[in-house]
Amino acid sequence: MAKYALYPGCSLETGGIEYGMSSHAVAETLGIEFYEVPDWNCCGASSAHMTDHLLSLALPARVFALAETLPVNEMVAPCAACHQRFAAVEHELQDEDLRRKVNSLLERPYTGKVKLKSYLDVFANSATLDKIQKKVERSLKGLKVACYYGCLFVKPPKVVNFVDDPENPQAMDNIMRALGAEPLPWPYKTECCGASLGMTKEDACTKLCNDILRIAKDAGADCIVAACPLCQQNLDMRQISVEKKYGTQYRMPIPFFTQLIGLAFGLDPKVLGFKKLFVDPVMVLRKVGVA
């Protein structure tokens, strides 16, 4: 049985609550065990690395150190922004001096024993992909999806150790294929959605969201599949402002990939948090005959 330490991150319990719900339901079906890191703290996200380099390393390092108390070898962070911060720690603390400096700030030292694993890879590795295929009870046949990876899960590849092509990743596309859905080729898979500017330069953020939604719509997508709670929230909630500003009507549902896996497994859409999505996912549900 696959076992991982899970770092939910602040948004998995708030804005991305349906990501957490569906992740747990799907993991259970697949026999994947997640151990939540005890007493985890916020990784500091971009606010920390924009403010102080040492701070941006010490906060996630404390989490890693706590994960080392669990019976696991690997840790996952479903949020792309968190994932990137942990990847930075893993990458930079190979430097002995820096590691000593960071550890002098912590109660429990970071040793590097627990390795970071991409959350997408948990589901997209070949063994799990096989399992997923076997568990499909309600094929997503006919559903055209635009897989959206966002920027920080895949970039920069040297740091995040992403097993995929950073410019044209396939991990999520493969999962969708296993579910019977049709992943579309589209050029904005890893284009930034500007979530970090949402509160400071809203206009710029709205434009970036509009571009992504428009390109997905033009590609013929029924929905955009997300893997990051920040991207998802940004593309989902901001559609109100995008549609107002650009006079468009995308009404594009933005489900998480874990929600679609659960749907194909025949799980109850309620358990998967479909009601939590802002843009009504009814067209997605209808395609598989549950709405």
Partner 1 sequence: MSEFNLSQVLETNRSFVDEVIAESGQDIRQCYQCAKCSGGCPGTFAMDYLPNQIMRMLMLGMKEEVLKSQTIWVCMACNTCTTRCIRDIDVARVMDTLRQEAVKHGYTENGRLVLIFNDVFLGTVRSYGRLFEAGLLMMNNLKTGSLFKDAQFGLPMMLKGKAKPFPHRIKGRREIKKIFDETKRREGK
Helix, strand, coil shares, percent, the chain, to 5: 50, 10, 40
User: CB neighbours of 183 closer than 8 A, spacing ≥ 6?
Assistant: 145, 146, 147, 172, 173, 176, 177
CA distance linking residue 169 with residue 190, whole number of Å = 8
* Residue 264 binding partner per list ligand SF4, partner 1, none, with a CB distance cut-off of 5 to 8 Å that depends on partner kind: none
- Residue numbers 24-63 binding partner 1 by CB under 8 A: 39-42, 44-55, 58-59, 62
Which does residue 284 bind out of ligand SF4, partner 1, none, counting CB within 5 to 8 angstroms by kind?
none
The tokens for 158 are 């040297």
Q: Does 131 bind partner 1 (CB under 8 A)?
A: no
Nearest to 205 by CA among 195, 213, 190: 195
Binding mask 72-91 for partner 1 (x = CB under 8 A): ------------x-------
Phi-psi region of 286 (alpha: psi -120 to 50; beta: other; left: phi over 0): alpha
Helix (H) or strand (E) holding 146: strand 144-148
CB of 60 to partner 1, least distance (A): 11
- Binding characters for ligand SF4, 230-249, by CB under 6 A (x = yes): xx--x---------------
**What is the spatial distance between Cα 242 and Cα 248, in angstroms, rounded to a whole number?**
8
Confirm or reject binding of residue 67 to partner 1 (CB under 8 A). Answer: no
Of 2, 10, 70, 192, the one binding ligand SF4 (CB under 6 A) is 192
| 228, interface contact from ligand SF4, partner 1, none, CB < 5-8 Å by kind | ligand SF4
**Residue 204 binds to partner 1 (criterion: CB under 8 A):** yes
Sole window of 25-33, 136-144, 155-163, 259-267 interacting with partner 1 (rule: CB under 8 A): 155-163
Ramachandran category for residue 266: left, alpha or beta (phi over 0 → left; psi -120 to 50 → alpha): left
Alpha helix (H) residue ranges in the chain = 17-30, 45-51, 53-67, 80-92, 96-103, 119-124, 126-135, 157-160, 171-178, 202-218, 229-237, 239-246, 257-264, 282-287
CA-based Rg of the chain, rounded to a whole angstrom?
A: 19
Q: Does 282 bind partner 1 (CB under 8 A)?
A: no
The answer to the question of residue 80 lying near ligand SF4 (CB under 6 A) is yes
Identify the residue among 102, 228, 254, 263 touching ligand SF4 (CB under 6 A).
228
Q: Does 273 bind ligand SF4 (CB under 6 A)?
A: no
Interface mask toward partner 1 for 162-191; x: CB under 8 A: ----x-----------------------xx
Residue ranges in contact with ligand SF4 by CB under 6 A: 80-81, 150-152, 192-193, 195-196, 228, 230-231, 234
Residue ranges in contact with partner 1 by CB under 8 A: 10, 13-15, 17, 39-42, 44-55, 58-59, 62, 84, 105-107, 151-152, 155-157, 166, 190-192, 194, 196-197, 199-201, 203-204, 207-208, 237, 240-241, 275-276, 278
